[in-house]
Every structure is written in structure tokens, then in C-alpha cells.
Structure 1
């Protein structure tokens, strides 16, 4: 019956959904970890632009909602156009906002779904000293008491393939040598630190391996002897994340 048909028109207003991280920067979902807090805001704008329309200029009775959805369930919501300190949870997440002007169809916008990721690093350091001889550098076998690392993603150990998919790796960020306890005539000639190489197995086991510096390929006795102190970090897109 045409007499019972109601037509709802969408107003000439668009809705911009903004999400910022704890530093106030636009949300980069690739770097959001479980437990991080974000601020969410829905802003009325002129269609096709980002020119804001003051909320006070909207008709009386205009209503807003903001929802935070995880794995298909609403875990947090607000009837305002801005909410702060929303704690991100594990799982497939998205933020949704709406604006309803009386007499018009609601305008709904949402972010693309993302999964919050927290990377971690497990280090297994033997109780006995890890010792390498300069003449053995370059061999492919792994010392029985080597230092071993494993990268985790949301508390699960990552395989080599997982690391490649996430473009994440272990990087050496600092190296120093303490040779105050070095004895022996031949051991005192060293003047160049050994290189540190990262070796990753298919199962995700990561070995920190010493290697002969390229400039000293034929002179192992010139490699510094002593106690090596190496700092490593989880690295993604050139940004330290853990």
C-alpha cells in the first residue's frame, strides 16, 4: 500500500571516523598490540571533504554511537561521538560509528577489521659460558651451548615462515667487547670485533652466531678476543617493537 510506505533520505552530510593511538597519531592497525589504548571519534563532515561540521550546528536530537567489536561481538559501546582510552583486545577487531538525524536514515562508518598483535622475545642463555674459537668461524654447525632466541606473536612461537609473512626479524642493535681478562700473546693482537650473524631455522629457532669480519677473511688472529656483550631487538619495518 503506497500510503504506508515511508521514505528515509540520507542527509547531505558524511561521517568521518577517526582512531588515534596513545601518542595521538592516526591508528596504524599493524602496530596495535593487545592492551594498547586508543581514542575513537566520529566527526560529521561535508561529503567528499574532511571539512568538519560542528556538532552544535546539527539538528536537535542528532544522536551518535560508537561500538568496538571483537570476533563479531560488541565488547564496548558509547552513545557519544567520542570515546577515549579504549583498550584493544586480542582477536579480529573493528570500530564502528553512526550518526542519526531525526527523519533521516542513519549514516554508519567502520574501520577495516584488524588483529592486534603483541610480539615478544624469548632468550635461552646457557648457564655455562658460550665459547667460540676464532679459527672455527664460518662453520655451519651450531655450538652445543649456543644462545637461542625465539620470537612470539601473541604468546605463540613464530616459525621462519611466520616471520617472513609478518616482515619481522631479530636485529643486532649493539655490540661491545671486554678484553680486560684476555691472556696470551696471540690473543692480544685482536683489534677488530667479530661480526654477529642471525641464523633462523624453519621452526623459528634463532641462533646468534659469531662470524669472521669480511676485512679479516684471511687473518683470524686479528679478531678481538674477550667477553662479547650483544644487544638484540625485534624489528619490524625498521621500527623497534620489542
Structure 2
């Protein structure tokens, strides 16, 4: 009887000890487990859906529905342009402001209405030609921008270039500009303003300009006789302008004859 009781007692303690060891071992495993890595924030809701899809198609992001800060942090080039034969369908580039390292943006042949690039301060080249509905481009603060093209944007009337001190090339043929101030762009050497709605152009601060196209602009005056004035710097020879300047001294605009004149400012 004593032996059986002793044996049962030993079995009880052995079982309890085994359970205690198992419990401690399990507890250690739980404590030793590494914490879960937090999932990166999904920035996709901050993007226009069409733009996000285009970024995925160009393999700039992996998944248009799950975009992370890490995968766009070092992106320097974005090209989401359509073409003359295949028109793009983008109406917005919402989300472009998150690309802080972007240096080149090409989005021609789309249906974009507004472009706000004020957050893309590293931008060097912008090509947004053939966006016929485009009526606003914001480039304030883009002190590194060297090349800007927005030709064939007939709804765009004005653009503020006062921050674009590095601008070298400006092209906007067949657009809707009726005013242009390039006085803060001393590095400009190329201006294509063909067939806009300008009354004059002032390049008196742009002594590096070697190419200037102004043919097709209405100038100022009445419905029959108008004058388009190019304001130039002191020492400019109006009799022998650079070969890259508009050589025609007269052209037609609607019912008027437009005469080209140079004036020192």
C-alpha cells in the first residue's frame, strides 16, 4: 500500500514538473519571437487612379493599388506620354507631388487640365505638349528647370516663369499665350513662340537668345495694320538679327498685316 502511494506521488510530481517545463519553454518561445514588421503606408489613395495605372504600366511602381514611399523615393524620370497616333487618356497627374527626386517629366498627348509641379523642385525638363485642355501650369520654385515645352496647348493663356532662373529652352508653338514675362530667365537661348496671341515680347534681359520664333502672333493695333514689337538689349543690331530669329518682317494675322519692329529697352 505504501509502495503504491509512493509511486503515485512520484508520478504526480513528475507529471507536474513536465507540465511546468513545457509551460516555461512555450513562454520562452513567445518571448523570443521577433515583432511583426509594420506594413508600409499605402500612398495609392493620394494618386489619380489613371495616373497610378500608367505608372504601373511603365513599371515605375509594382502595383497601382499599393504604392509605397520607398519605391518612388528615387524615381527621376516619368514618361506617361501618348502619341499622335495613340492619344493618352490621362486627365490628372495627382500624386506627382510625391516624387521629390523627379528630374524629367514627359506627359504629352494627354487630356490633362492642370499641372502643379511646385513640389518637384529637382525638375530639370518638362514636356507637356499636345494637352489641348491644359489651362494651368504651376512651376513656381523650380529653380533647376532648364527645358520647358508646352506647345499646342490652346487653352493656356499665361504662365509664371519668375522662379525659373535656370531656364534655357522655352517652346510653346500653337498655344494660347497672350502674355509672357521672361525677364527672370537670363539663361534663355531658345524661344519658340510661333502662332500664339502675343502683342509683343521683351527679351531685353535675355542677351543669350540666339533662336526666337514669333511668326503668327497678332501684335497690337487695329484690324488692318498691326505691329509686333521685340524689345531688345542695348547693342543689339536690328538690321542683322541672329540667324535663328524670325526673319520675316511682315506677316498676316486674320485680316491684319503685322509688321515686325525691334526696340531697345
- Same fold by TM (over 0.5)? no
Relative contact order, higher structure (CA 8 A, sep 6+)? 1
Structure with the higher fraction of residues in strand conformation = 1
